[in-house]
Amino acid sequence: MLEVEYKSLLTEDIYNKIKKYYKWDWIKHQINNYYFDSSGELGKKHIMVRVREKDGSCTVQVKAHKNPGEALQICEESEFPIDCVPEKISAEDGEKYTGIKTGELNLAGNLDTLRHSLMWCEGVEICLDKSKYLDRCDYEIEVEYTGSLPPELIDELNSLGVKFEEKSVGKYTRFIRRLMEILRGN
């Protein structure tokens, strides 16, 4: 499945303004458990592997980023059911999920998200996230869409303080950067 979305980090004030502005279709809690390979092949190829816990079930999700770092994110995404969150994913399963030889995948930790979501119109979903990981809390908006993105939605979000002009840093990258800072003693 090809996923196309705009992302932007938010201040807590803008997050709260957006949260009050819309009537949300649903609010859910999800946990992303992130994995890495010791060879670094996943990072070199801009591939992220996670096990997402949501609604009482677990799913392995693999995202291959086509244009990493841009506000407009284009990813090839695939999912596989799994029974639980493993400490390690075997080399065989890692290759099955990613299509590359990674060796064993190790659990790096998790990011806990409270997600507000609404269908703004057919084919356009707004997701408002508050995420906690390691010793951090941050806020993000994602606009996922198929077809074309209505310019009036961008105007509406701009009026609420959202800017999609800057390069985007996704949850996985923010998590890994913070983990590396902690491991270096920062």
DSSP 143-173: EEESS---HHHHHHHHHTT----SPP--HHH
Strands 26-37 and 105-121: antiparallel
CA separation for the pair 7, 51 (Å, rounded): 21
117 within 8 A of 127, measured Cβ to Cβ: yes
DSSP structure string for 23-36: --SEEEEEEEEEEE
pLDDT for res 104: 96
pLDDT for res 94: 94
pLDDT for res 2: 66
pLDDT mean for each 10 residues of the chain (186 residues): 83 98 97 93 92 96 82 84 96 94 95 98 96 97 91 96 84 92 88
